[in-house]
Structure 1
Amino acid sequence: NLLAGNISIVHKVTGSSRTFMGEEGAGVAAVETAAARIRSGQSTHVLVGGAFQTEHSDMLLGYELAGYLHRGNWKPVWQRQDGEGGGVVTGSGGAFLVLEQREHATSRGRKIYAELGPIVSGRAKRRNGGLDA
């Protein structure tokens, strides 16, 4: 809730707030919930996003114990020579979308960049019977 709470405070966001956890499944669930709220008329616009930070001790320890971490000096992939590849180079990332009811956007004179279709994930299935969005 820390990320959602800080965004709400800094940008004076009001209304409902949800926090989902669980890797890719959390992102799928967040977009599904946001789309459902807009389609039902409960919300006119929703900020949906997520972040992942792999540079904390529990993540690094797990990668190290499994032998996944990159060894040696970092180089971009295109500059590596034979035998210099392999291994995880950890990092952080995030992405956010503003989903908005078409009528709400056009009433504000905003350009429509895309229309939300089916919400699916091809990366979350960890085992048979895993996430189906």
Structure 2
Amino acid sequence: MANECIPFYEPGRRITCHATAGVTGKRFVAISANRQSDGNFSVAHATAAGAVFGVAAYDAATGEKLGVLRGSGFVVPVTAGGTIAAGARVEVGSNGQAVTLASGIAVGIAMTGATSGNDAIIALL
């Protein structure tokens, strides 16, 4: 068949990635470079107010592999970068942390309230 679209990952919600910088688990990550020669996508902490690829499942040093949880339907703990109220929409703050939506891209909804440095339970959008 010509022009057949064959998914790289299905359903593509738990993906092994390559850290291009140190990554802390329970923080938002974004694509940071081209795909690696082994087929893994390259990620680093997402930038403040930016788009996300998913949430790091655990810590990884530069050059290590890590699991990334992604997609609507996941409810995961994400480290809060400030006080977040239950029910608030969240965006990415500094170092991939979750903060209350201000002017960035909504990436989730807080299912619980949280204070800075603690886990916020986030339903990913």
- Same fold by TM (over 0.5)? no
Larger Rg: 1
TM-score normalized with structure 2 length: 0.22
Which structure's residues are more often helix, by fraction? 1
